[in-house]
């Protein structure tokens, strides 16, 4: 089955959301350590003033809190810009995708072709707009907008059969 692999912004967003890993959130927290420490200090200072019945300088506390949230917003903006840029580059490079019982073949706009057998993919997910095949670090996105309802069912069947086949192989190897 040959599928056009151009993705809309909504399809790209769904694909990345579906494949966010726990490591992504851990890296996000690490990227915001300065802001988290700043918020902690502000909360500690405000709590200490409240406990000691001192006068609170709400303007300073508010300003530090706004600065901390600005740091978080800057980090998120830079991260999302990076993801969008990478996705846009990948999207413009892909021309067609061919799915069969052997794997996924991709034809780029430059004329080069790549083939990845199903054994290289660890899992697949289905969203409202796309299928994704692979793990959070490297996945292929198959847009549903380029398919009829019957083709969506065929792709789902191929993915299920290939996943089940690998799972059965693993259970045989493990002796279960």
| Residues 84-114 pLDDT 10s | 777 677 666 777 888 888 888 888 878 888 8
Q: Please tell me the predicted confidence (pLDDT) of residue 176.
A: 55
User: Do residues 116 and 109 lie in contact, with contact meaning Cβ atoms separated by under 8 Å?
Assistant: no
What DSSP designation does 143 have?
E
Contacts of 8 (CB under 8 A, 6+ apart): 129, 143, 145
- pLDDT tens for each residue of 24-37: 777 777 777 777 78
Helix (H, G, I), strand (E, B) or coil at 142: strand
Provide the sign of the torsion angle of the four alpha carbons 75, 141, 165, 147, taken in this order. positive
Q: Please tell me the predicted confidence (pLDDT) of residue 41.
A: 80
Cut 0.85: pTM above it: no
Helix (H, G, I), strand (E, B) or coil at 18: helix
Encoded tokens for 106: 């991709």
- Average pLDDT of adjacent 10-residue blocks, the chain of 176 residues: 81 79 72 77 76 73 79 80 72 78 84 84 86 76 86 87 61 60
Measured distance CA(138)–CA(43) in Å, rounded: 40
Helix (H, G, I), strand (E, B) or coil at 115: strand
């Amino acid at each position: 089955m040959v599928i056009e692999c151009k993705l809309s912004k909504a399809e790209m967003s769904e694909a990345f959301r579906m494949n966010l890993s726990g490591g992504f959130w851990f890296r996000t927290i690490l990227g915001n350590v300065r802001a988290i420490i700043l918020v902690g200090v502000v909360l500690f200072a405000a709590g200490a003033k409240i406990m000691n019945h001192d006068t609170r300088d709400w303007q300073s506390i508010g300003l530090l809190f706004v600065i901390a949230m600005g740091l978080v917003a800057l980090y998120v903006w830079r991260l999302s810009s990076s993801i969008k840029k990478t996705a846009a580059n990948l999207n413009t490079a892909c021309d067609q995708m061919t799915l069969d019982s052997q794997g996924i073949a991709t034809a780029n706009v430059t004329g080069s072709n790549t083939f990845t057998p199903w054994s290289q993919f660890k899992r697949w997910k289905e969203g409202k707009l796309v299928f994704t095949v692979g793990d959070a670090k490297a996945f292929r996105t198959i847009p549903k907008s380029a398919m009829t309802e019957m083709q969506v069912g065929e792709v789902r069947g191929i993915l299920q059969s290939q996943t089940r086949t690998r799972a059965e192989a693993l259970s045989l190897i493990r002796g279960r």
